[in-house]
Structure 1
């Protein structure tokens, strides 16, 4: 799950960074304000993508999704972009959890079959140094 979420955050950081010239050119927003708002969110997305192994960073990713969604209302016509990324984030969480469950089941199965293969029936180590008993 965390890998999918990290990938979404990296691509989201690129798109968030592209919101800066859109806000400046379309809305006439001050470049310092646009850079501060979306530049800060983009940097936070990059940092959080690298920290997704921590639970708190995953929850911070949810907060970043909300921040991107609410900040998009400052520029007309752009709220669709964060809606797409929030959808990708939710899909990544759902599919990632399914993959995590399947990985855990596979690891448990592999561990169970590995343990049964090491003690094959009919083979015992006898007192004479490992001779086979019939």
Structure 2
């Protein structure tokens, strides 16, 4: 599960940074405020990659997915992007757990 979810979180960090760039040109929100929110969110995605074995990591990943959906209030297209990434997160968690169970059964 860690490999799938880590790949997803790295992609999400990139999307958060790109979404902030889009928001800079489409909204009147200050650049400093955008990066004060987007920077730590992207950093949190990257840091969460290393903590995916912790029991709180998957719920934290869900919180990130909902935050990405909520970014749609700033850039409306982020509603769609957030829902797509939440679906991919669900698939990564579900398939990852299936793979982990198969590996444990084989061992």
CA contact (8 A) 2:69 2:78 kept: no
Larger Rg: 1
Structure 1 unpaired stretches of 5+:
108-134
Shift of the alpha carbon at 1:78? 2.3
Q: Which consecutive segments of 4 or more residues in structure 1 shift more than 6 A?
A: none
In proportion to residue count, which structure has more helix? 2
Give deviations 1:20-67, integer Å, cap 9, x for gaps.
110010123210111112222111111111211211122211111111
For residue 4 of structure 2, give the secondary structure of its aligned residue in structure 1: helix
Query: Whose RCO is larger (CA < 8 A, sep 6+)?
Result: 2
Structure 2 unpaired stretches of 5+:
none
Give deviations 1:88-114, integer Å, cap 9, x for gaps.
10000111111111111111xxxxxxx
The aligned counterpart of 1:70 is 70
The aligned counterpart of 1:21 is 21
The aligned counterpart of 1:105 is 105
The aligned counterpart of 1:57 is 57
The aligned counterpart of 2:79 is 79
For residue 75 of structure 1, give the secondary structure of its aligned residue in structure 2: coil
